[in-house]
Structure 1
Amino acid sequence: MNAINWPEGFVPGFSDNYCSNEVIVAGLTTQDIWPLLNTPALWPTYYKNSANARFYDNKGPELEQDVRFYFETFGFPVESQVTEYVAPAEGQPARVSWHGWSGEEGAADRLDVLHAWLIEDLSDNRVRILTQETQNGQPAKELAVASPNPMINGHQDWLDGLVAAARAKKA
């Protein structure tokens, strides 16, 4: 199975917070999942912790390499820019990652994240969806010790909602 590509400054183990969530499900493909993940305006339809997605520079409605967008999650307004974008193709995993930030640079409440997704078809009509996030900044340090872990739980809700939405769309 494939792994996330981490840019410098966001490598797990060297960041202030890290979370990883994964599902492997039968009966769905990367092609079923991708349109729901690649279109931020759809996120609130299956993930209650996402709101108000919009694009900059007359881009959208789908993500693409280097595109700037905005959304709200976990109570944070998040400015974002796609850092890796590999659309689904036969024999390779689909990938999308974005650098997201909230707060002014240098401010005590500044949060920088790298949120990465990897979707790959597996044998026997299964799909693997992996999402991982690293975070830096004081809010990340606080999230790292929170119990229950809001990032692990929130991202699991995102995965579960994504799978349910893909299944509903297929039915």
Structure 2
Amino acid sequence: MATQSAIHWPEKYTPGFTDNFVSNEIIVKGLSVNDIWPYLANTAHWTKYYKNASDITFPRGGGPELAADLDFSFSTFGFPPLAAKVVEFVAPAKGQAARLSWTAKQDRSPEEKLDVLHAWLLEDLDGGRVRILTQESQIGKPAADLAKANPNPMLNGHQDWLNGLREIALKNKL
């Protein structure tokens, strides 16, 4: 049995020690990491398949393709634009998982302050399958409030993102 890869967590964002944590995963037959990656790593595609992302900008230039240490901002889950920074960017390569993560912050009043790490892991599995995992660890009162919500908007919103990735990759597979 093969061991599956895991998200790399900076200590500050370790799940279980933050105010909210969500994890979503799908495994899809007939797709590979290379089929999925372009739709995740290039923000120009996000609004085509994920209705919960908007106002994507690159305040210091670059983009729409994400890259290590790239600053960007975007709106999601009704929050004003969050200042984001790519902290891990490992493009697809044979024999290793592709990884993408970013921090996103809202520096406002203590009641509105939000600090998250959103991580992605894409991994080819045997039998022509791909594993798509996304997890987010959140700090701040808005995160604590989201953790109590039922249904959980973060869990459902991230599932929509996974499903959208799957559908756009299947639709455009060469």
User: How high is the TM-score relative to the length of structure 1?
Assistant: 0.97
User: Moved runs in structure 1, 4+ residues, more than 3 A?
Assistant: none
1:33 corresponds in structure 2 to 36
2:50 corresponds in structure 1 to 47
Question: Aligned with 2:170: secondary structure?
Answer: helix
1:150 maps to which of 124, 149, 153 = 153
1:110 corresponds in structure 2 to 113
Q: Percent identity?
A: 55
2:85 maps to which of 60, 81, 85 = 81
Query: What's the offset of the Cα at 1:56?
Result: 2.6
2:10 aligned with 1:7, yes or no? yes
Q: Distance in 1 between matches of 2:149 and 2:65?
A: 33
1:139 maps to which of 131, 139, 142 = 142
Q: Distance in 1 between matches of 2:124 and 2:169?
A: 14
Q: Distance in 1 between matches of 2:122 and 2:99?
A: 7
Query: What's the offset of the Cα at 1:39?
Result: 0.9
Unaligned runs of 5+ residues in structure 2 are none
Question: Aligned with 1:9: secondary structure?
Answer: helix
Equivalent residue pairs, number: 170
2:123 aligned with 1:120, yes or no? yes
CA contact (8 A) 1:41 1:54 kept: no
2:170 aligned with 1:167, yes or no? yes
User: How high is the TM-score relative to the length of structure 2?
Assistant: 0.95
State the Cα RMSD in Å: 1.0
Q: Distance in 2 between matches of 1:14 and 1:50?
A: 27
1:97 corresponds in structure 2 to 101
Matched to 2:13, the amino acid is: F
CA contact (8 A) 1:113 1:136 kept: yes
Q: Distance in 2 between matches of 1:58 and 1:69?
A: 9
Question: Aligned with 1:64: secondary structure?
Answer: coil
Q: Distance in 1 between matches of 2:119 and 2:74?
A: 16
Query: What's the offset of the Cα at 1:60?
Result: 1.1
Question: Aligned with 2:122: secondary structure?
Answer: strand
Q: Deviations over 1:64-106 (max 9, x none)?
A: 11100011100112110001110000000000000001233x6
